[in-house]
């Protein structure tokens, strides 16, 4: 090869290398965020806010794709999919981590937290923060808590006292504590994915379910449940999670910026949650499709008495220190 030809070849090779390197640098990082609820919910709004902040701030270096309504994965599959790298962010209910840690079951104990401020105080304290990292050894990182709100009981017949729930079938999330809670009032709990709840209620395959005002409203459960008892008996909260592999593999300059956007989106989602607990409740009442039953103090106490023994049943699995700290946060 002549000298000039060799020079030309090395020039072409150099240009190709630079081009491919800059192409590789320009390739955006994709973050798939999968969730099971509608977009007009605290979690749906939080996910969309996160996407918006990333779009505004990261110049196309990171692209967020949000998949609502169990479009990509249901909550029973999403954690496995995350470990396989098929999805990068999710915010499953804290009731869905049984396979990964027993301590998070604390959030399902009936009548543990008096309101969402108590939940917030517990989560900001040392025990709540420790729970955030309780799934680390399983390859998952908790990046933050996100609120939805307190749960109510909906049913095909009026539930005023625990005996009204006897022998009725209730859909629950995949939590043994929630199963024990319904068994404590003589009801029959059935673990089913969120995506199936409406049809199960509509076809009367089950009698009732427990959920927050925003989930009951956005998934139209109130249209197929003639009664909702305002029990505020438990909390529905989420853990925003990613996989350790994905998170630690992010470029060091981008990770803090992504985390900041996520923290802001969570704060926004928490505000939406507080407002929706009020607004969606009112919309349900105004719809006149269902009757919202308020309990007297004496009636509510009967539910507390019937369900509270569940705490003792799970104390060893959860850890008494966590339960004590939660009680103190009230
Ligand atoms: C449920 O399954 O009832 C909830 O966890 C759904 C959700 O994510 O709010």
Q: H/E element holding 95?
A: none
- Mean pLDDT value across residues 111-119: 98
Which whole number is the average pLDDT over 153-179? 98
| pLDDT for res 76 | 82
On average, the pLDDT of the chain sits at: 94
Place 14 in a pLDDT band, splitting at 50, 70 and 90. Answer: low
Q: What is the average per-residue pLDDT within 252-263?
A: 98
Kindly give the number of the ligand 1 atom that is closest to the alpha carbon of 171: 3
The structural domains of the chain, with segments of one domain joined by +, span 28-329
- Using a 6 Å cutoff on CB, does residue 215 contact ligand 1? yes
The CA distance from 89 to 125, in Å, is: 24
The average pLDDT across 221-242 equals 98
Q: How much is the pLDDT for 164?
A: 98
Structure tokens at 90: 């999710």
The number of beta carbons lying within 10 Å of the beta carbon of residue 264 is 14
pLDDT recorded at residue 305? 98
- Tell me the pLDDT tens digit for each residue of 19-33: 555 545 569 999 999
Residue 201 to residues 28, 152, 155, 160, 218, Cα–Cα distance (Å): 43, 15, 9, 20, 15
Please list, in sequence order, all residues whose beta carbon lies within 8 angstroms of the beta carbon of residue 240, skipping any fewer than 6 positions away: 89, 90, 91, 142, 143, 144, 145, 146, 262, 266
Question: Would you call 83 helix, strand, or coil by DSSP?
Answer: helix
Q: What would the mean pLDDT of 184-191 be, rounded to a whole number?
A: 98
For the segment 237-258, the average pLDDT, to the nearest whole number, is 98
Site to probe by mutation for ligand 1, drawn from 67, 147, 148, 239 as the one with most ligand atoms within 8 Å of Cβ, is 148
Fold entry, domain 28-329: D-Maltodextrin-Binding Protein; domain 2 (3.40.190)
List of residues 6+ apart from 182 with CB closer than 8 A: 165, 170, 172, 188, 189
Residue nearest atom 2 of ligand 1, based on CA coordinates: 194
């Amino acid at each position: 090869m002549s000298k000039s030809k060799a020079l030309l070849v090395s020039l072409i090779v150099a240009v190709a290398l630079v081009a491919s390197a800059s192409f590789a640098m320009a390739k955006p990082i994709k973050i798939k965020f999968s969730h099971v609820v509608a977009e007009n919910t605290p979690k749906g709004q939080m996910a969309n806010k996160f996407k918006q902040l990333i779009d505004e701030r990261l110049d196309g270096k990171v692209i967020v794709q949000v998949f609502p309504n169990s479009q990509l994965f249901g909550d029973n599959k999403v954690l496995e999919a995350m470990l396989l790298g098929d999805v990068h962010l999710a915010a499953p209910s804290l009731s869905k981590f049984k396979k990964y840690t027993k301590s998070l079951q604390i959030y399902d104990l009936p009548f543990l937290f008096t309101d969402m401020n108590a939940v917030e105080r517990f989560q900001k304290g040392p025990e709540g923060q420790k729970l955030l990292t309780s799934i680390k050894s399983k390859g998952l990182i908790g990046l933050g808590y996100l609120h939805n709100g307190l749960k109510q009981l909906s049913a095909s017949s009026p539930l005023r006292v625990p005996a009204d729930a006897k022998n009725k079938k209730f859909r629950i999330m995949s939590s043994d504590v929630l199963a024990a809670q319904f068994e404590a009032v003589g009801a029959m709990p059935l673990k089913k994915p969120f995506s199936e709840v409406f049809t199960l209620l509509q076809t009367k395959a089950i009698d009732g379910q427990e959920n927050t005002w925003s989930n009951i409203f956005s998934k139209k459960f109130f249209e197929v449940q003639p009664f909702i008892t305002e029990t505020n008996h438990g909390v529905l909260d989420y853990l925003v999670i990613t996989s350790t592999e994905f998170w630690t593999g992010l470029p060091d300059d981008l990770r803090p910026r992504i985390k900041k956007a996520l923290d802001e989106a969570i704060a926004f989602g928490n505000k939406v949650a507080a407002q929706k607990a009020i607004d969606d409740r009112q919309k349900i009442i105004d719809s006149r499709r269902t009757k919202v039953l308020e309990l007297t103090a004496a009636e509510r106490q009967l539910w507390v008495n019937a369900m509270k023994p569940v705490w003792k049943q799970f104390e060893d699995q959860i850890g008494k220190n966590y339960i004590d700290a939660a009680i103190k946060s009230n």
